Amino acid sequence: MDAFSAFWSHAVAIVWGLPLVIAITGAGIYFTIISRCVPYTALGHTLGILRGRYDDPSKPGEVSHFRALTSALAGTIGLGNIAGVAIAVGIGGAGAIFWMWVAALCGMATKFFTCTLACMYRKTDAEGIAQGGPMYFIEVGLGPKFRPLAVMFASCGMVGALPLFQSNQLATLLHTQWDIPALTTGMTAMVLVAAVELGGIRRIGAVAARLVPAMCLLYMAACLWVVLSHAPAVPGVLADIFTHAFGMDGMAGGATGIALREVIITGVKRATFSNEAGIGTEEMAHGAARTDEPVREGLVAMLGPVIDTHVICTLTALVILTSGVPPGSEGVAMVVTAFEQSMPVIGRPVLSAVLVLFAVSTMITYSYYSVKCATYLFGRRFGRSSVYIYIALIPVAALWAQGTAVNIIDTAFALMAIPTLTSSLLLSPRVVTALKNYLQRMNDNDGRLKPAPREHPL
> Which CATH number fits the domain that encloses residue 118?
1.20.1740.10
* Angle, alpha carbons 91-94-98 (nearest 5°): 110
Give residue 58's pLDDT: 80
Q: For the purposes of burial, counting CB atoms within 10 Å of the CB of 321, is it exposed (0-12), middle (13-18) or buried (19 or more)?
A: buried
Alpha carbon dihedral 244, 248, 253, 255, in 10-degree steps, equals 150
* 331 membership: H or E segment, kind and range: none
* Kind and range of the H or E run holding 124: strand 123-124
Domain presence at residue 447 = no
Residue 332's contacts (CB-CB under 8 Å, 6 or more residues apart) are 79, 82, 83, 86, 169, 172, 173, 355
Comparing CA positions, the residue from 337, 102, 83, 97 lying closest to residue 239 is: 97
Burial class (CB in 10 A: 0-12, 13-18, 19+), 296: buried
Q: How far apart are CA 320 and CA 49, in angstroms?
A: 35
Query: pTM of the predicted model, to two decimals?
Result: 0.88
Query: Does residue 266 form part of some domain?
Result: yes
What pLDDT score does 101 carry?
A: 93
Between the alpha carbon of residue 22 and those of residues 238, 308, 380, the distances in Å are 25, 21, 37
Q: Is 143 helix (H, G, I), strand (E, B) or coil?
A: coil
Distance CA 184, CA 399 (A): 10
Phi and psi angles of residue 124, each rounded to the nearest 5 degrees, phi first = -80, 130
Residue 40 lies in a domain: yes
In angstroms, the CA 305 to CA 223 distance is: 19
Q: DSSP per residue over 43-100, as a string? A: HHHHHHHHTTTT--TTSSSSB-HHHHHHHHHHHHSSGGGTHHHHHHHHHH-THHHHHH
Q: Containing domain of residue 181, as a range? A: 2-442
For residue 448, is it within any domain? no
Distance CA 404, CA 394 (A): 15
Q: 138 with 401: CB under 8 angstroms?
A: no
Helix (H) / strand (E) containing 110? helix 95-120
Of all helices (H) and strands (E), which one includes residue 231? none
Q: Is residue 455 part of a domain?
A: no
Low-confidence ranges of the chain (pLDDT < 50): 249-257, 329, 445-449, 452-458
Q: Could you tell me the end-to-end alpha-carbon distance of the chain, in angstroms, rounded to an integer?
A: 52
Q: Which amino acid is at 87?
A: I
Helix (H) or strand (E) run with residue 123 in it? strand 123-124
Q: Is residue 453 part of a domain?
A: no
- Specify the number of domains making up the chain: 1
H helices of 398-442, where? 402-442
Which residues neighbour 431 within 8 Å (Cβ) at sequence distance 6 or greater? Answer: 35, 112, 113, 116, 117, 120, 295, 298
CB 136 within 8 A of CB 130: no
Q: Please check whether residue 163 lies inside any domain of the structure.
A: yes
User: What local confidence, expressed as pLDDT, does residue 150 receive?
Assistant: 96
Residue 454 lies in a domain: no
Contacts 24+ apart (CB under 8 A), 171-175: 171/398, 171/399, 172/331, 172/332, 172/333, 172/402, 173/332, 173/333, 173/336, 173/352, 173/355, 174/352, 174/356
401: left (phi over 0), alpha (psi -120 to 50) or beta: beta
